[in-house]
Structure formats: structure tokens, C-alpha cells
Amino acid sequence: MSSSNSNSDYEHYYVPESSKLPIFASLFLFVTVYGAATLFNNMSGMPATFQGDWVHWILILGFVGFSWVLYVWFSTTIRENLQGLPSAQLKRSYVMGMMWFIFSEVMFFFAFFGALFYVRNLAGPWLGGEGAKGIANMLWQGFQYDWPMMITPQQAAEAAGGQVTAMNNEFSGPDKHMAFPGFGAMFGWLPLWNTIILLSSSGTVHIAHHALKEGNKKKMKLWLGITVLLGIIFVCLQAYEYYEAYEHYGLTLNAGIYGSTFFMLTGFHGFHVCIGAFMLLVMWLRATQRDHFTPEDHFGFEAASWYWHFVDVVWVGLVFFVYIF
């Protein structure tokens, strides 16, 4: 990719002909979220326009349609690139688009980390009666703030015989938590292995990227394949951790704010790992089946690897603030 700003860059900015893709993307995105909302309301026993056993098909139709549009859209973009239509300048637009998209993802996680910090440093201690807000403990008698929060204010107040009002849900803290078990027991602690796996996968994708830039495609395919495998192993271990949490730890979405923050942060991270691994898998297929990348022109690969580094960085934040401290 040329970084020079010569005037020739400007003269061939590729403005595509009108396209049917966006309107179908909008339509299927709408069907997807409409289906999801209908399904959730059905599940929770809340009224929705459509009721019945079949409503999940709206969501499935939307999702399949949306995936199909994205497939065609990306294929179109790749085909245009193979035809040499985009100028160096348009490619820079793609690079910027990806960069700022990742920034928006960072801000999405920022909201959840912010919630975690607020609960742990402010709301939790106040509920426990600390500071000028000790009055709050009148509502939740006997509640002691501790993190991970094993006993919710509701449980504490009920145990203390206090009256609990305005409740539409039962929040019982977990029996066991996922926090760092100390150095003695750390090798039996799943998040440690997950950390090793995800951090090394950032390394392997980096090796693959360098191999590609050196023109060593065989090496690139190998290390990219390893990265995808590591990503899949991570997701499997994470699923196992969730199984353990639900079956043996009593740690569920219902388990008070500890469970809420734990599953939202690790869950959205895991979801992003799935997306990242899928992107890398697509890149691996493009490399092995279609020989799409050249040492000079491989932004699809690079974008996917940026995304992968991003989910890795989020994981580091999770390890520190969700698991260790």
C-alpha cells in the first residue's frame, strides 16, 4: 500500500455504482433484531405482536439473510480488489474504517468496565453502609460489602429478618467465585491457561503476518491456522468455564452483581473472540483455497489480525479486573 499523497492517487477514487446490498442489509438487520426482541418477550412472558412456538424463526430468517448479505458484500469488495478497482486512496479509507470501528468496540467494553469499577469502588461500599451514605444500610440490614460479592444485599436483608420491598427477582450470590486462587493453586486455574492461549495466539498471528510480508506463504498459512486453532480452544475452555460456573459454582447471571458483571464482560469478550476467530478462519480459507494475499496487498488479513489483537488486549483487562483483583 502506497502511503504517498501524490496527485495520481486522487484521480481514480472508486465510487461504486448503485448497489442493492445496503437495503437488504438494513432489511435483514431489522428482521434479526425484531425477531430477537419478539423471542425475548415471548420467553419472559411479555406480550409481543407475534406469539407462539415459531417466533424464533423470525430471528433465524433475519440472521441467515443478514449473513448472506454480508457474504455477498464482502465477496463483492474482494472481487473489486482483485480487479484492481480500488485506488491506494480508497484502501486507506478501508484502513481508517477498520481502525475507528475497533475504537468503537473499545468504547463498548469501556461501558462494561466502567460499570464494574463503579460497583466495586462506589456503589458496593455504599450499600454496605460506608461513608456519608451509611443510611443505605437501613434498606439492606446486615449487608457487608465484599468482592467478589457472595451474599447479595437481598440475601443479607432477608437473613437479618429485614423487610425486602419492591423486588421482582431473586438474587442469590454464588457459592464459589472465579477469582485468582493464589500462586499455590494457580496451575489448576482455568483463566491462567486461557490467558496463555490467547496471548500466544496474538504472537502466532503476528508471526503469520510477518511471514506474509516476507512472501513466505507456507509459513503464513501454518501460523494463521495455529492462531485459529488457539482461538477455538480458548472458546471451548471458556464454554467449559461457564459450564463449571453454572453447575458447580452457583455462579449464574442471577447471582447478583458479581455474576452480572462476570458474565457480561467475559461473555461479550467471548463473543468477540468468536467473531475474531471466524474472521481469521475466513482469512485462512482465502489464503489456502484462493491464494488471495500478496506481501503488498493483504488488508483483509491485517484487519482481522488487528481485531484479534484488540480482543487480546480486552482479555488482559479482564484478567486483571474480573479475575485477579
Give residues 67-96 in contact with other proteins (rule: CB under 8 A): 73, 89-90, 92-94, 96
Q: Is 1 in the site for other proteins (CB under 8 A)?
A: no
In whole angstroms, the minimum distance from the beta carbon of 97 to other proteins comes to 5
Q: In a 10 Å sphere around its CB, with 0-12 CB exposed, 13-18 middle and 19+ buried, how is residue 284 labelled?
A: buried
Q: How many residues bind other proteins (CB under 8 A)?
A: 85
Task: Tell which one of 137, 152, 201, 202 touches other proteins (CB under 8 A).
Answer: 152
Q: Which of residues 162-201 bind other proteins (CB under 8 A)?
A: 164, 166-169, 171
Task: Tell which one of 1, 2, 33, 316 touches other proteins (CB under 8 A).
Answer: 33
Closer residue to other proteins, CB minimum distance, 91 or 217? 91
In whole angstroms, the minimum distance from the beta carbon of 281 to other proteins comes to 24
Give DSSP secondary structure letters for 90-149: HHHHHHHHHHHHHHHHHHHHHHHHHHHHHIIIIIHHHHTT-GGGGGGGGTSTT----SS-
Give DSSP secondary structure letters for 150-187: -S-HHHHHHHTT----S--S-----SS--S---GGGGG
Closer residue to other proteins, CB minimum distance, 103 or 278? 103
Phi, psi of 153 (to 5 degrees): -55, -40
In whole angstroms, the minimum distance from the beta carbon of 136 to other proteins comes to 8
Task: Tell which one of 66, 223, 234, 263 touches other proteins (CB under 8 A).
Answer: 263
In whole angstroms, the minimum distance from the beta carbon of 100 to other proteins comes to 5
Say how many C-beta atoms besides its own lie within 10 A of residue 77's C-beta: 16
In whole angstroms, the minimum distance from the beta carbon of 185 to other proteins comes to 26
Q: Which of residues 120-139 bind other proteins (CB under 8 A)?
A: 123-124, 126-127, 131-133, 139
| Residue 56 CA: distances (Å) to CA of 44, 61, 186 | 14, 9, 42
The candidate with the shortest Cα–Cα distance to 308, out of 192, 206, 191, is 206
In whole angstroms, the minimum distance from the beta carbon of 6 to other proteins comes to 9
Q: In a 10 Å sphere around its CB, with 0-12 CB exposed, 13-18 middle and 19+ buried, how is residue 320 labelled?
A: exposed
